[in-house]
Chains A and B, each alone.
Chain A
């Protein structure tokens, strides 16, 4: 039995997926073709059967469970943000504490160092006898000076 050339377009026609020109061709063809009309009738019957078949509905308790689950997901999202923020706060706290401890140690080291300025020795040395000079340059100068005084007329 030869198949009608329009039969391959029937499903697309039935689903409203044909362009306008092709659709009008099928519309004008249908009254002349019993096999295509029959096929179209079968497609319509199947759709009716599918839609009239059991139409399952989500029960009220199922809908309640669904909303509950969505709430849990929302809370989990908020908790995740809180957890991240807590982790960041903890990191800042640890880093800050370490910095404070380090700063206190540095200050303690500074406190153990002599408070006198670097030139204090020099000033002190100028009042001492020549052998007590701790600065080599000052000792040399004074030694040289005593030699000069020995040579003086």
Chain B
């Protein structure tokens, strides 16, 4: 299943995939799946839903192959589709009201405002952030994206990225203060 097309960059793969070469698109999937999966987990909170969001992301990318104009990198373009799919996932979840978001996230024994205990990992602390703060923190810390790239992915002004990132870090510092200097 893994399709290795060496020495072809993302743009070249996109061009070939748009021309109908299925192998090129599968190569793009292999190249970006792990990175996007981690991003998806940081956005939706669990592996099963992250896998669904990831699938929808690549299907969306496949359908939009011809609309890609290479104004941004493929990495940014895919991340933007993922962010859109994750936002849709949050919206559907809110609409169905089957289970509030925070109920699926492991919480420390002391409640949401208590400091993390020894059993709580950083990932769980991050999942206690709001989706907006979690997104911006994941794109910055995991993806190492610039503020402008994050703004493009999320479709918000750069100033919003800065303020969300600042708040996300403040909240994380509060939640992880037992571990931080």
Contact = CB atoms under 8 A, between A and B. Distances in A.
Interface of A: 11-12, 15-17, 38, 41-43, 45-47, 49-58, 62-67, 69-71, 73-74, 77
A49 B147 contact: no
Contacts, number: 101
Contact of A54 (B34, B63, B123, B137): B123
B122 A58 contact: no
A45 B2 CA distance: 36
B77 interface: no
B181 A38 contact: yes
Interface string B30-60: 1001100110010000010011001100110
A15 B126 contact: no
B128 to A, nearest CB: 13
Interface string B140-155: 1110001100000000
Top 6 nearest A-B pairs (CB, nearest first) are A53-B122, A58-B37, A73-B59, A69-B55, A50-B141, A53-B123
Contacts of B59: 69-70, 73
A74 to B, nearest CB: 6
B33 A74 contact: no
Interface stretch (B6-14, B82-90, B161-169): B161-169
B15 interface: no
A43 to B, nearest CB: 7
A51 B141 contact: yes
Contacts of B147: 12, 15, 17
A73 B47 contact: no
B98 interface: no
